[in-house]
Amino acid sequence: MTKILRRIVFFFFVAVFFIGAPKIVFYALGYSYRHGSESGLVKSGLVYLSTTPPGATVYVGGRRYRDATPAIIRDLLPGNYPIRLVLKDYEAWAQTVPVEPAKSSVLGKILLHPKKPDWSMRLSDQYEDIVLVPDTKYFLLKKKNQADAVQIYDWKEKKAKPFEDDPAKVQSFFKAKRSVDDTIFLLDENGKFSSGRGGEVIVKQSVLGFLYDKKNHKTVIWTKNAIGLVEKIKPKKELGVLQGSWSVQWVFKQGQRISQAFWAHDGACILFQDQSKVLMLELETFGAPATYELLETKYQSHIFYSDESGEVFYLDKKSGNLMSLEVIPKWKVLEIPFTLLQEKEKEAKVARV
């Protein structure tokens, strides 16, 4: 190969680099070229949408987008975009998503609701209540006035067995487990909720319970009427004293008698019980969190939910049978792409209620 030809090839590649490199940089930073009368470079943003289950058709402003979820819609000029997700056998999902220049609007854990809920009857006996045993694969089932009044239920294996021990021991075990979370937060009998280390009072009274999500470092608290997210904020110095390193964002205030709450869908939802209703509160939103009812349970009984199984266990309203409802279809949860594995949980801009 002659020297001249080699040089031509070399300079061709050099030219490709110097033409291509700026284009790639601009594209990576979210700039796009606007055609028409106002032609020029504009700084665009993007929207990332991922649903459970995946494969939902995406409509942006009524126009169908080429990719199904998970999808990245890029080159969007700043503004608000009505987005609708449609998947067969699931309720349509719709929201207005704001797009800011060079920013990504992430809705990475959208939970689509099936049109026909997937209920299963697990045990046909008549039960009185469910007692939680945190950090184990069991919960207890209480019957009324019978010899085998308590049963252990393995929610992973979906099997029950009689519990011959003293139920009081179970209660003490339950309390002992709670102390793990108490190193971070403290909750006294009057409902005063404070931080475990600094002793800072976060809520003065009425808190009935809290749940700390170790994986996502998020905490939910509940009172009789409300559900709140506990957030760490940068402490401010006022008169030389550090003030308020924690704040509570109340995301639900219409409760009647909230008794339980669970983190669901990897911190994107809160599943809670209000009187005999079990509701789901969706936090993955740029608007006000949406709440919808999942089921009704037996009067004054508790429920159990684990994100590991994606099922909520409850007692049937009429028969008292142990039932389960698949809330998160685990086999349909999309394996998150590698690049997003390390994604810090996007703090969806949840509006104060």
Query: Residues interacting with another protein, by CB under 8 A?
Result: 1, 3, 6, 9-10, 13, 16-17, 20-21, 24-25, 27-30, 44-46, 48, 72, 74, 102-104, 106, 337-339, 342-344, 346-347
- 3 state SS of 309: coil
Query: Which is nearer to another protein, 146 or 216 (by Cβ)?
Result: 216
Of the candidates 263, 325, 330, 262, the residue with the CA atom closest to the CA atom of residue 296: 325
Quote the least distance from Cβ 130 to another protein, whole Å.
38
Quote the least distance from Cβ 233 to another protein, whole Å.
14
Please give the Cα distance from 289 to 149 (Å, whole number): 40
Q: Cis peptide before 53, with omega less than 30 degrees from 0?
A: yes
The CB density around residue 111, as the number of other CB atoms within 10 Å, is 20
Structure tokens at 329: 């279809």
List the beta bridge partners of residue 72: 48
Structure tokens at 297: 């349970």
Query: Which is nearer to another protein, 29 or 180 (by Cβ)?
Result: 29
Of the candidates 232, 230, 281, the residue with the CA atom closest to the CA atom of residue 253: 281
The CB density around residue 345, as the number of other CB atoms within 10 Å, is 17
Quote the least distance from Cβ 266 to another protein, whole Å.
16
Quote the least distance from Cβ 285 to another protein, whole Å.
16
Quote the least distance from Cβ 101 to another protein, whole Å.
9
Q: In what order do the strands lie in the sheet with 290-296?
A: 258-264, 269-274, 277-282, 290-296
Query: Which is nearer to another protein, 122 or 346 (by Cβ)?
Result: 346
Quote the least distance from Cβ 202 to another protein, whole Å.
22
Please give the Cα distance from 12 to 195 (Å, whole number): 64
Structure tokens at 215: 């994986």
Quote the least distance from Cβ 5 to another protein, whole Å.
10
Quote the least distance from Cβ 76 to another protein, whole Å.
10
Query: Which is nearer to another protein, 11 or 119 (by Cβ)?
Result: 11
Query: Which is nearer to another protein, 229 or 323 (by Cβ)?
Result: 229
The 8-class DSSP code of residue 330 comes to G
Please give the Cα distance from 292 to 173 (Å, whole number): 33
Query: Which is nearer to another protein, 19 or 168 (by Cβ)?
Result: 19
Query: Which is nearer to another protein, 3 or 35 (by Cβ)?
Result: 3
Please give the Cα distance from 209 to 227 (Å, whole number): 10
Query: Which is nearer to another protein, 73 or 112 (by Cβ)?
Result: 73
Of the candidates 226, 229, 283, the residue with the CA atom closest to the CA atom of residue 255: 226
The CB density around residue 325, as the number of other CB atoms within 10 Å, is 18
Quote the least distance from Cβ 79 to another protein, whole Å.
15
Query: Which is nearer to another protein, 44 or 291 (by Cβ)?
Result: 44
Structure tokens at 320: 């008292």
